[in-house]
Structure 1
């Protein structure tokens, strides 16, 4: 039985776990209230903090959204920095600065993608306040974007963006362990923006419209039609050249179905290999006794680059943010008297 069937379906075990879910919700709300009234310390910083997070477990596509936001702010004259927990990283000391060629075993996989594609300083630490302070001490950042951390209340934030997946949404609507929610669904009413990640830019979101969340916008997830060779990123190959041909498809992400569907929609015949999210790959995991192409996500490729060969490819993914979101974010920063020239 897959755990996702409980969290995102109508499995009867969810009803049995409901009392634990109620207890979890109560603890979460007490903790949040403790920060609100000052019983627990919340750290304020001299630059605006924008948190991009989610209220569900598992991936919702936050990392490409953070990259797109950072690029947007750079174009507007800001000097953004990015912080993350560095999930899966096993560094002995924190915080850690992250560079495009950092070791994912030390800092995690997603932070390396952030460093490669944002062109911004990136720091990671289990306590995000330490990562933020590191950027302020060592870089000239005047706005900080936190990749995840919606529930990390020790870090004061000026803007909250909650990201939801258009397919899985909020699952069965229950909190852990009976459902996928880290916080009650009502938490969405307190964030500044709700961003729905979709492969269709105009896709409707009736679930949220019916429950009265008015700050909802849709961003478009763009899966490219060209794949890149892991060992030679200047080598591109159109997916159309693999139509009706068998390939190995590897995914160690929270929701691999969308990745596999995109490849199938391009006519590829897949031998699927699914691994846990943030999986620590070994060479034997991606080498097979044939000469078929092997295609994976870029997040997986980060961890496979040292033992990949010319048959290994990854699929680039980007995000197109709604213009209304970027305009309102910039307006919010200005209303809070944060201007790039004065920071």
Structure 2
């Protein structure tokens, strides 16, 4: 199964003009994948019509809902953006509820919980997000006064007087763009700056979950990994141009993952400088949506050599994989005559920290990073904050009218 996933991923990231370079096995799957994409396109059209015509009922939650989603699978920075927004709301004195599906291993939910432990954020995990939200509202309560939320959003500072409000004020949908059962008040769409549209085909022939025209529903667009784009002036402008051809009024921000530190798998409370891997031989091991960005981020720190082992997104590391990693490390030691170190992402660690400890004789580091808004095209973090607050206040006014 892992082999098949790898083949499909290779096809999905290959432009049509380069399909002839793929192995025969890959090319033999193209007719089947194209047929599956056509079926997916029709089902997407039908589902969209059912929801937006009102034939299938959408639920409005009692507090504003911010959706953070994407057009292509994996590597778009959705979960880091969810954390970023949760911190902005916490700073404004508003308790956010993050609703996440909790994919294989629950890696994203575990990472969010660890990062947001000292904030007012709550995390609800479950495929039925309406039921999960209802359970969290019943347990923690929610702010049912639009005026109270508007006042907090309008204030530039977090209120510190009086008792802390433990109630939920805003819901953040992680991976919410294609989740239409819940009405969205603010739609934030993340684009991968290194591969914004993939090969321009829908799943499974390509990585697109919806066509770029779906950006017409967006309120804010963020181009992620903007710092890793080879020719930023040209490539970023091309992406912005495509976005503005769909909606000329859409604000387009840029973001990056900023490495903060490493910690050792053997000692999760350790904190090592990013410079730890400088002039070292590094093996990047990951099972994430876009491993290229992870490998590039490590390369920018300045190691002697970077090798990589990529597994499919959300893959659970098995004993056979540990053997493969150990074998690769042995080859690197033979080639460079030094011990190589393994570096994984936080998602990989949180998915199964125990299995990684099987590499007990080796040094295994976990890279910790946080999302930052890059001040490009005069769109800064403060601009993002104000834009988000404006959309939330507008949605509260609409809710008040009803």
TM-score class, shorter-chain normalisation, is: 0.7 to 0.9
Question: Is 1:288 aligned to residue 323 of structure 2?
Answer: no
Q: Distance in 1 between matches of 2:306 and 2:393?
A: 49
Which of 323, 326, 332 is the matching residue for 2:391?
332
Which residue is 1:100 aligned to? none
Q: Which has the higher helix share?
A: 2
Which residue is 1:150 aligned to? 177
Which residue is 1:183 aligned to? 210
Q: Distance in 1 between matches of 2:46 and 2:97?
A: 31
Shift of the 27–304 alpha-carbon distance from structure 1 to 2, 3 Å rule, reads: closer
Which of 5, 9, 12 is the matching residue for 1:7?
12
Q: Distance in 2 between matches of 1:269 and 1:133?
A: 50
Q: Describe the superposition over 1:151-199 as per-residue Cα deviations: whole angstroms up to 9, x where unpaired.
A: 1111111111111100010112222233221122211112211111124
Q: Distance in 1 between matches of 2:77 and 2:312?
A: 16
Q: Distance in 2 between matches of 1:66 and 1:335?
A: 20
Question: Is 1:315 aligned to residue 367 of structure 2?
Answer: yes
Question: Is 1:250 aligned to residue 250 of structure 2?
Answer: no
Q: Describe the superposition over 1:226-285 as per-residue Cα deviations: whole angstroms up to 9, x where unpaired.
A: 322233344233343433322332111111111112222312423422222112124664
Which residue is 2:108 aligned to? 110
Q: Describe the superposition over 1:275-322 as per-residue Cα deviations: whole angstroms up to 9, x where unpaired.
A: 221121246645737764321101111134235258221111111133
Number of equivalences: 321
Question: How far does residue 147 in structure 1 lie from its aligned partner after superposition?
Answer: 0.5
Moved more, 291-300 or 280-289: 280-289
Alignment TM-score, normalising by the size of structure 2: 0.72
Q: Which runs of 5+ in 1 are unaligned?
A: 89-104, 339-343
Question: Is 1:227 aligned to residue 262 of structure 2?
Answer: yes
Classify the secondary structure of the residue corresponding to 2:326. Answer: coil
Does the 8 A contact of 1:84 with 1:131 survive in 2?
no
Q: Distance in 2 between matches of 1:331 and 1:242?
A: 42
Which residue is 2:91 aligned to? 75
Does the 8 A contact of 2:343 with 2:366 survive in 1?
yes
Question: How far does residue 2 in structure 1 lie from its aligned partner after superposition?
Answer: 3.2
Q: Distance in 1 between matches of 2:281 and 2:72?
A: 35
Moved more, 57-66 or 76-85: 57-66
Q: Distance in 2 between matches of 1:45 and 1:191?
A: 19
Does the 8 A contact of 2:95 with 2:122 survive in 1?
no
Question: How far does residue 149 in structure 1 lie from its aligned partner after superposition?
Answer: 2.2
Classify the secondary structure of the residue corresponding to 1:163. Answer: strand
Alignment TM-score, normalising by the size of structure 1: 0.84
Does the 8 A contact of 1:25 with 1:184 survive in 2?
no
Q: Describe the superposition over 1:125-163 as per-residue Cα deviations: whole angstroms up to 9, x where unpaired.
A: 112112211221112211000110211111111111111
The structure having more radius of gyration, on CA atoms, is 2
Shift of the 55–37 alpha-carbon distance from structure 1 to 2, 3 Å rule, reads: same
Question: How far does residue 225 in structure 1 lie from its aligned partner after superposition?
Answer: 5.9
Q: Distance in 1 between matches of 2:267 and 2:254?
A: 30
Does the 8 A contact of 1:166 with 1:205 survive in 2?
no
Question: Is 1:209 aligned to residue 225 of structure 2?
Answer: no
Question: Is 1:301 aligned to residue 352 of structure 2?
Answer: no
Q: Distance in 2 between matches of 1:325 and 1:173?
A: 28
Classify the secondary structure of the residue corresponding to 1:319. Answer: strand
Moved more, 1-10 or 113-122: 1-10
Which of 152, 160, 166 is the matching residue for 2:193?
166
Q: Which runs of 5+ in 2 are unaligned?
A: 1-5, 20-26, 141-166, 331-338, 374-380, 398-402
Which of 74, 80, 103 is the matching residue for 1:87?
103
Which of 32, 37, 41 is the matching residue for 2:53?
37
